[in-house]
Structure 1
Amino acid sequence: MNYKGILFSFFKSGIKDNSDPESNQKIVVANIFSSVGCAITFALGVTACLSTNLRLGIILLLISGIFLYVNLILRYNWFSVPYRTSANLLTISLMALMLYLIYTGGVAGTGPLWIYVVPPVVLFFGGLRKGIRNLILFILAISIQLFLQDPLLVAIHYDYEFKSRLLYSFITVSFLFAVYEAARQNSYATLIEISKQFEEQAMHDSLSGLHNRRGMMANIEKEYARCKRQQLSMSVIMCDIDYFKKVNDQYGHDKGDEVIKTVGEIFRAELRQQDSLARWGAKNICFCCPIPRVNRR
């Protein structure tokens, strides 16, 4: 049995072919995080229940169920925007669990140490701006919880040194992850821009600025599908520049290049917005023109 293939297929549940790579990557990470989080919180919940810490065990099992629900949302597309719903559920449930661990202290007062999981998850699923906003709200919430010294907010006693160092280190970790997320988004935007530039170059003729044969074929396929769907006619016209070899021989290739660019500009100025124009060969110009229906009486 191909366990590796089954595992990859499981983590890729919910990916759409027409989505951008970053969205698909986030869906994969959401699947991994929800699956691993479900398993860990379930194991910790069962352990807590068996060790007579029933309340903590029930909370952990509840969070485990939420993580499982998130995975099912992505797998079966239960909402109009499954990823956004699942990302919000993951973020809210994770921060709520951290606040509860700070309140109860977890096992032997180690519960607050889990809060360092929050920054990478919140920033990755929420993005830089929304992630920073959620982190600021979370920092304010744990600051009030730790330093207000209200029994309704914290059920156990933490030393001031522990609380202050926990908060300072959490802010430092949050800042570092925010810098990393900003760098990651900037790198991704740069990569997308470079990819668009390469795609633009691959689909256009560098001399005339018109589509090349590859770009024109893509336009023809798209226009053919649209015309077929709307029951329109479509014309494809090929033109040849006469005596082009004589221009090159008599005036040089630079003048020949000027002729190609000038002819392309003339044709482009006369075409409609919905028409396509391309340099098909060395001296060939190709048109793709959808023809509207004519109402007959």
Structure 2
Amino acid sequence: MKKQFALKNQDDTEFVQPNVIHLFSLVGMFITLVMGIIELFNEHTMLASILFVASFVYFLGYFAFTRLNNSALSAAIILYSLYLLMFYLVYSGGVENTGPLWIFMVAPVSVFIHGLKRGLIDIAGFLIIISLIMFFPIEIMDHAVYSIEFKLRLIYSFLTVTFLSALYEYSREKSYLHTVELSKKYRQLANLDPLTQLSNRRDALNILKREQVRMKRNKEPLSVILCDIDFFKKINDHYGHNAGDTVLVELAKLFKHSIREQDCVARWGGEEFLFILPQTTAENANIIAEKIQENIHEFAVPIEGEEVSITVSMGIEQLDRSKNIDNVINSADKYLYQAKDAGRNQIFPKHK
């Protein structure tokens, strides 16, 4: 199949799950709001204020996702506001110096939101800043004092959680890519004829529907050619079905090299092929059909030491606003049988 009709690739390297980011921002907003209210009642005014600000920032992340439809911005707001909150909790100690215990959520959230590579870079930067805050605190306001054993064990524990999070994310990404690859392969199998590797009937109909929409939008012509191999049954009967398959495969290759970049050829069924020709009138489709026939006249399939010549009959029809796809295919089919009735190796109708 030509590039024009290749399957559209999904963004396979994007591992962010927008729905989870949306949920995280919503949950984060309510949790920090509730914690802020609790700390306010406990007369921890500074911590309560920080939590209220964090709740508002999570709201901004929620707003960026729901209103601006920008999951990347929402993810950045959520992640880096989480970092800032953790910096404050480590610096101030939180409630009774338990603030640092919250940093363990940073590793899984980071690798989930930004993927393995960038997530680990973010975590490395976070760990450096946390270490500086604990070992070399700047006297901005009252800050927590931790024992050297606590600092080291906190860092060791954080590195362990980071390793486990990275291992999980690596496995998740590998599984995701494998699933995407399998899905892509199954989509291709569903849309390709296994023998000729051309589009099958289902894919051809989907392409026709897309081209019909584009034709109506751009007011451009669209034509089809229905092609049938002459006396194909005799080839199967005389040489066997394997020889018939060889003819179909070799003819499919010739067809693909005989059409333009924007065109598509599909195996319509049995020994029938359908050519879809965008931006093409019936008159120009006739020229393309004649070119294909000329190529076939110079073409022979080697079977059991013999050079077997092939001819085809073709029916042409142009799609316009007054016709649906079924009508166009049926019309092309009628022209095809007129070509066969006229002695085969013909193109109907003739356009001059």
How high is the TM-score relative to the length of structure 2? 0.74
Q: Distance in 2 between matches of 1:22 and 1:149?
A: 39
Please give the alpha-carbon distance, in whole angstroms, between the structure 2 residues aligned to 1:126 and 1:24.
Answer: 8
Contact 1:45 1:61 in 2 (8 A): yes
Q: What's the Cα RMSD here?
A: 2.1
After TM superposition, give the deviation of residue 26 of structure 1 in Å. Answer: 1.5
Matches of residues 153-168 of structure 1 in structure 2 within 5 Å?
Answer: 155-168=143-156
For residue 266 of structure 2, give the secondary structure of its aligned residue in structure 1.
strand
Does residue 65 in structure 1 map to residue 56 in structure 2? yes
Give how far 1:220 is off. 0.9
Alpha carbons of 1:44 and 1:22: their partners in 2 closer, same or farther (altered >3 Å)?
A: farther
Offset of residue 150 of structure 1: 4.3
Q: CA deviation at 1:152?
A: 3.9
- Judged with a 3 Å threshold, the aligned counterparts in structure 2 of structure 1 residues 243 and 212 are, in CA distance, closer, same or farther, namely same
Q: Say which of 128, 148, 156 aligns to 2:136.
A: 148
Amino acid at match of 1:260: L
Gaps (5+ residues) in structure 2? 1-8, 284-352
In 2, Cα distance between equivalents of 1:43 and 1:253: 75
Question: Does structure 2 conserve the Cα–Cα contact (< 8 Å) formed by 1:145 and 1:154?
Answer: no
Q: Scaled by the length of structure 1, what TM-score is found?
A: 0.87
Distance 1:154 1:192 in 2: 52
Choose which of 92, 108, 119 in structure 2 pairs with 1:120: 108
The Cα of 1:263 is off from its aligned counterpart by 1.6
Could you say which residue in structure 2 is the equivalent of 1:210? Answer: 198
Letter aligned with residue 26 of structure 2: S
Q: In the alignment, which residue of structure 2 is the partner of 1:41?
A: 32
The structure carrying a bigger helix percent of its residues is: 1
Matched, 1:177 2:165: yes
Runs (5+) with no aligned partner, structure 1 = 1-17
Q: Is 1:194 aligned to residue 182 of structure 2?
A: yes
Counterpart CA distance in 2 for 1:255 and 1:172 is: 63
SS in structure 2 at match of 1:211: coil
In the aligned structure 1, how far is the partner of 2:194 from the partner of 2:142? 67
Aligned length, in residue pairs? 274
Shift of 1:32: 1.2
Separation of aligned partners in 2, 1:209 and 1:246:
24
Residue in 1 that maps onto 2:227: 239
Partner of 1:53: 44
1:85-113 deviations in Å (ceiling 9; x for gaps): 11010011000000100111111110000
Structure number with higher relative contact order (C-alpha < 8 Å, ≥ 6 residues apart):
2
Deviation at 1:172, TM superposition (A): 1.1
Structure with greater strand share of residues:
2
Counterpart CA distance in 2 for 1:163 and 1:101 is: 14
* Letter aligned with residue 277 of structure 1: V
Give SS of 2:269's match.
coil
Residue identity opposite 2:117 in structure 1: R
Match of 1:30 among 18, 21, 26: 21
Match of 1:75 among 66, 70, 91: 66
* Residue pairs, 1:253-292, within 5 angstroms: 253-292=241-280
DSSP-derived class of the 1:280 partner: strand
The structure number with the bigger radius of gyration is 2
Deviation at residue 24 of structure 1 after TM alignment: 9.5
Q: Report the residue type matching 2:55 in the other structure.
A: S
Structure 2: how far apart are the matches of 1:234 and 1:149? 72
Q: Is the 8 A contact 2:15 2:115 kept in 1?
A: no
Question: 201-210 or 153-162: which moved more?
Answer: 153-162
